[in-house]
Each structure stands twice: as C-alpha cells, then as structure tokens.
Amino acid sequence: MTGPFRFLAWLMLPALMSFSVNLLAATAEGAPQALHLLDYIGADYPPTVEAGKVVDESEYREQVEFLGVLQGLVAGLPDKPERAELVKGVDELLAAVNAHADGAAVARQARQLGARLAVAYEVSQAPAITPDPTRGAPLYAQHCSVCHGEAGAGDGPASVGMEPAPANLRDATRLDRLSLYAIYNTLGLGVEGTDMPSFADQLDDRQRWDLATYIAGFTADPAAAKSEKSFNLADLARQTPNEVLAAEGPQALATFRAQRAQPPQVKRGPAQLLDYTAATLDKSLAAFRNGEHEQAYDLSVAAYLEGFELVESSLDNVDANVRKDTEKALMAYRQSLQDGLPIEQVEERLDVAKGKLTESAGLLGGDGLSWSLSYISGLLILLREGLEAILVLAAILAFLRNTGQQSAVRSVNVGWGLALLAGLGTWAPGHWRPM
C-alpha cells in the first residue's frame, strides 16, 4: 500500500465487509462509496504493474479485491437506465486489471467511470461554499499536525511507532493522484485499519473542504495561481493534477495546483451577488425536495455568505430596514430547513425571502453604486469623520483655555489649519486630469 493512498485504500473494505454491500448500495450512499473505490484503484493500481507484469503482488491482489466489492456496490445501486452501462464499465475495468493493463490506461478508465457514475447518481463533487485554506490552517494544526507534522511531512510527534506511518502530504507525486474531493471525503470517513480517525463528528462539511484545500497547498506554489488560466470550482474539486498535466501541460499543472489550494473568489457586482443568492436558494429547495436536507441547508448558507452578506453594507447605506428584513427572511428559510418543515411551508418562506431579495436589488440597481448613492455615501462618511474631528479639537481647545495655555491653543489652531491645507493639497493632484 503506498503512503497517502492508505488515505483511501482502507476506507472501504472493512466497512463493506461489516455490512451488506447490497444494503449499502440500495441507497444513494452507495454511489459516493463506489466513487471512493474508483479513486483508490485509479491512483494505486499504476505502481503495481510494469510492462504487463505484476511488480507488487500484495498491492495488486488488493486492487482485485476492491474491484470485487465495487462490482457488488454498483450492481446494487438504485435502478436507473445508466446502471447497466456502469456495471459493464466495472466489468471492463476488472478485465483490464486481470490482464495487467498499462497503469495510466486503467487510471484513466477508472476516472472516466467515476465521472459517469457521479452524473448518473447526482453525486456532488464540489463544495457549496468556496473553500478557504486560511480557515483550514488552524484545523490542520489542531487535528492533523500531531501525526502528519507541522509541514505535512508525516513526522509529527505522535507518528513514532505508527504502522502504517502517516502519509507524507508533501509528496507531489502522490498528492497529484488525488482530487480535492477525494481528500475531503477521506477526512470525513477516516481510514479503517490505521490510526487516522473520521472527522465527520468534529468537522462540518465546510470545515472539511477548508482543510482539504490547506492540505493541497503543501505541494502548490502560490505564485502560480496568478495566471490567465482560471479553473472553476467544480473542476478544482473534481479533477486530479495528473489529469490536468496530461491534458494541458506543466504550466497548467502548476496553476491548477495553486488554484485548488486557494480557490479564486468570483468577483461579482451587487446585482450578480443577489442573482447568485436567489439561484443558490433555488438549488437548496431542490435538494430539500430530494430529501438531501444537509445539502439543502449548506446551499442556503452559501447563498447568504457568498451572496447577500457581501451587499449588506451597501444596502445599509440605502435602507437599513430592508437589509434587516431580508436578513430575517433568509434566516427564517434556513430555520425551516433545519426544522424539516413540510415542503409547502419551506416554499412559502423561500418566496418571502426571494421577494425581499428582489426589493433589495431594486434599491441597489445595477452592478455598481449609482452616482447619487456614491455621493450620499461619501458625504455621510465625510460628515461623520468631520464631526468626530471637530469634537476632539473642541475638547482639546477647551482644556487648554481653561488651564491658561494660550500658546498651545495657537499651536493647535495652526496644526488643524495646516492639516486642512495638506488635505486639499493631496486631493487636488489625485483628481487632476491632463487635457
């Protein structure tokens, strides 16, 4: 078993041997489990064969064993038209492994099969909220560094005597076989047969994505993120660096590594942010209808944090009451999801929230602040700051006069006068435009 793919290799087998494969696969839960196995096979099969010959017998036998489990999982998935093709795909994958086929070809075959399975059974492989590695850093220090080390080299103080040893997360060759989704999923499931636990009861969905991006950063060059090439969030979560290297070359690989370690935040104007909020709320309701209550709530949080929250300050400058009412409506919708209310009541609360979003959009109007709104906002800031300065000066001057320090009063007056002239002097060049 290669190091980090102990990260994936033992995820499935002990659990699957403990429970009925058919019982697991008969629910939607079987699809993510099958994806895990395909991730593992695609990453850890290639080193087991060379030129058509097995070079690691125990590892190779493990691949065959997992493929047998995978066959049972896929065959037992809920009945859909695509299932027969997926079963056929697993059989073909097993035949390729039995024939000692080229590692790269088998890895590609496994990834393609996984993509088809994810589409057929609607397995989300992307986070609802854009991950932030700065939130992942303290999580790594708290939960991971004791085994994997502060720098991810697998040399933490608790690693002494561990068998198998913790994975070296700085090994680019190994990390390049993993998608961000695979790292995230492993954090949630743990690794059976090793000392790595499941963090599902300690870290929520968003925290696991944040931590996954931080781990991905161990093999990334942050400077490479600044590129004309920009990967969307779904691709950053779903693809592996090796796939990007094969398709687009070394430069794209460096960019991909950097961007999946620090996913770019999409820049939007007020209108786009509110549209994003409404569209994400619609996705949340669809997930709730499908019985995916946790996903529905996560999407409702994403709608707020990556949408409405970013226009709150602008909306406060126009109508603070509308901002408060909209925020309350969004909170009421999220609460209805948490309480598991009947779908009719959930829809009713969503309609109220979307109505408030429409009202907010009308007040903000367009992708940027209007000239009048910019003028009013600037004037309010100027008046507030000016009033504070006047009050401070008045207090100082009153104190100096009461204590008879007239020379100091003159100095203060000269000081604020010079400050005013300096302000005008710096404002004028900044607003001068050559003819």
pTM of the model: 0.62
Q: What is the mean pLDDT of the chain?
A: 84
Q: Which fold has domain 133-261?
A: Cytochrome Bc1 Complex; Chain D, domain 2 (1.10.760)
Q: Please count the helices (runs of H) and the strands (runs of E) in the chain.
A: 20, 2
Give residue-wise pLDDT tens across range 402-411. Answer: 887 877 878 8
- Among the residue ranges 6-15, 162-171, 300-309, the one predicted with the least confidence is 6-15
Tokens read off for 16: 């699957």
Which of 141, 147, 136, 151 is closest to 195 using CA atoms?
Answer: 147
For the chain, state the CA radius of gyration.
29
Q: How many CB atoms within 10 Å of residue 160? A: 8
Right CATH for 270-364 from 1.20.120, 1.25.40, 2.20.180, 3.30.310: 1.20.120
Residue 33 to residue 109: CA distance in whole angstroms: 18
Sign for the pseudo-dihedral over CA of 89, 91, 93, 96: negative
Q: In 23-146, where do the E strands start and end?
A: 49-50, 53-54
Model confidence at 354: pLDDT above 90: yes
Q: How many CB atoms within 10 Å of residue 18? A: 8
Q: Reduced to 3 states, what is the DSSP secondary structure of residue 53?
A: strand
428 or 63, which is more confident: 63
Model confidence at 27: pLDDT above 50: no
Structural domain spans, the chain: 6-120, 133-261, 270-364, 371-431
Model confidence at 8: pLDDT above 50: no
Residue 340 to residue 356: CA distance in whole angstroms: 23
Residue 201 to residue 223: CA distance in whole angstroms: 35
Q: How far is CA 90 from CA 34, 67, 69, 108, 374, in A?
A: 10, 8, 10, 13, 60
Which residues are CB-neighbours of 421 under 8 A, at least 6 positions away? none
Q: In three state form, how does the secondary structure of 263-284 look? A: CCCCCCCHHHHHHHHHHHHHHH
**DSSP state at residue 144:** T
Position 379 scores a pLDDT of 66
Share of the chain above pLDDT 70, in %: 86
Model confidence at 138: pLDDT above 90: yes
Give residue-wise pLDDT tens across range 239-272. Answer: 999 999 999 999 999 999 999 999 987 667 888 8
Q: Do domains 133-261 and 270-364 have the same CATH topology?
A: no
Please state the rounded mean pLDDT for residues 367-381: 57
Residue 85 to residue 384: CA distance in whole angstroms: 68
Position 195 scores a pLDDT of 84
Residue 220 to residue 351: CA distance in whole angstroms: 43
pLDDT band, residue 415 (cuts 50/70/90): confident
- Among the residue ranges 20-24, 73-77, 161-165, 425-429, the one predicted with the least confidence is 20-24
Give residue-wise pLDDT tens across range 151-183. Answer: 999 999 998 988 888 989 999 988 998 899 989
Which residues are CB-neighbours of 176 under 8 A, at least 6 positions away? 219, 240, 241, 242, 245, 253, 257
Sign for the pseudo-dihedral over CA of 47, 176, 9, 163: positive
Residue 434 to residue 420: CA distance in whole angstroms: 25
Position 91 scores a pLDDT of 96
pLDDT band, residue 368 (cuts 50/70/90): very low
Residue 218 near residue 183 (C-beta atoms within 8 A): no
Phi, psi of 415 (to 5 degrees): -60, -50
Residue 44 to residue 93: CA distance in whole angstroms: 14
Which residues are CB-neighbours of 313 under 8 A, at least 6 positions away? none
Position 305 scores a pLDDT of 84
Share of the chain above pLDDT 90, in %: 41
Please state the rounded mean pLDDT for residues 280-300: 89
Please state the rounded mean pLDDT for residues 147-153: 94
- Among the residue ranges 64-73, 189-198, 282-291, the one predicted with the least confidence is 189-198
170 or 415, which is more confident: 170
